Amino acid sequence: MENEVVAPDTVETPAPETPAVEAPQAPAEPQSRADTIREALTKTPTNRGKHAATQPREGGKFAPKFPTAETQAPQMADKPRAEMPKSLRLELKDHWEKAPPELQQAFAQRDADYEKGINQYKQRDAEARAITELFQPYEWMLRNENATPATAIGPLLQTAALLRTGTPQQKSQAVAQMIQQFQIPLDQVAAYFGGEAAPQQDSHYNQLAQQVQQLTQHITQSQYEAQKQNENRALSVIQQFASDPANAHFEAVQDRMLSLLQAPQVLGDISHMSEREKLQVAYDTAVRLDPQLAQSLYAQQQQNYAAQNQVQKAKQAAVQVRGAPGAAISGAVNQMDRRAVIANALRQVN
């Protein structure tokens, strides 16, 4: 081929490169506004500045990320304040307003719990009172048998349960015990079971028996009321005796006083004394039997005696000082005039 180029047999070695000298560049032209907008649109979006859209602002500034003392103050003021409980006195209202809300809430909750508990106790008390009122007409009977409503209601319920759920043998035994205990005439019971009319008793006898029963109840009730009055009077005397400042050790020796009053051989014959005199004898004896109280009482008596002696000496000294000039006056008094002598003596005493 004519146009074929044949490579030469020898290889030319390349010449070493020399650093190119950069030509001075011309100053860059300012970027136009359109180019700036186009460049901003083509950039990859980042997370920078995104929080600013959702971050709260205060007064045109971003709010701090964590709460500070300034930001917490309004929140503290917004907490609801509990009303002062009715159990507190009105004088404490100023202190209640100054108390922290947390303390107010805790106190109000405690007061509400206490009121709830009191209401439960009131309900139980009302239920118990309704039961005890049923026993009130029969207090004389309970008194005679030395029983209380609590001890009487148990056997009654046991008997009722036995008559309802017991075996025939248990029921028969319980009925026999009641017939024997309450002296129920068997002939009248047999007459009722046999369909025969019960033998009629004398109307005069029935009327007399009813009167005797009423009289017995009246006497028993009168005795109970009299005993109740004596107990109330004795309790009033004890309260007055205990509140007397002269009996300051009553609380400490009241148990020993009770033991002494229950052992008359120790106090002797005090049956002729009044209630207060009996208490005074028991109190003085109980104090003397207590070593510490006896020593304290003896020291106090010694102080009282010393004070009385000082007062007596001061009075005697004052009488001597005032009596000295009076001697001249008494010398001028006519000794034959008894009224004048008495008047002079009164002046010296005063």
pLDDT tens digits, residue range 306-321? 888 888 877 777 766 5
The SS3 call for residue 70 is helix
Phi and psi at residue 61, to the nearest 5°: -120, 155
pTM: 0.33
Taking 50 as the pLDDT cut, the residues of the chain under it are: 1-8, 10-11, 19, 21, 23, 326-330, 349
Position 325: which residue type? Answer: P
Q: Is 37 exposed, middle or buried (0-12, 13-18, 19+ CB in 10 A)?
A: exposed
Q: Cβ(163)–Cβ(174) under 8 Å?
A: yes
Residues in the chain: 350
What DSSP character marks residue 236?
H
Q: Cβ(224)–Cβ(139) under 8 Å?
A: yes
pLDDT of residue 167: 92
Domain segments of the chain: what residues?
81-165, 308-349
Cα separation values, 200 from 195, 196, 206, Å: 15, 12, 10
Q: What is the 3-class SS of 88-151, one letter each residue? A: CCHHHHHHHHHCCHHHHHHHHHHHHHHHHHHHHHHHHHHHHHHHHHHHHHHHHHHHHCCCCHHH
pLDDT of residue 28: 55
Q: Where are the beta strands (DSSP E) in the chain?
A: 57-58, 61-62
Distance CA 209, CA 104 (A): 70
pLDDT of residue 3: 47
Q: Using DSSP, how many helices (H) and how many strands (E) does the chain show?
A: 15, 2
pLDDT of residue 11: 47
Distance CA 322, CA 345 (A): 12
C-alpha closest to that of 107 among 118, 96, 98: 96
What DSSP character marks residue 297?
H
pLDDT tens digits, residue range 241-278? 888 888 888 888 888 888 888 877 778 888 888 888 88
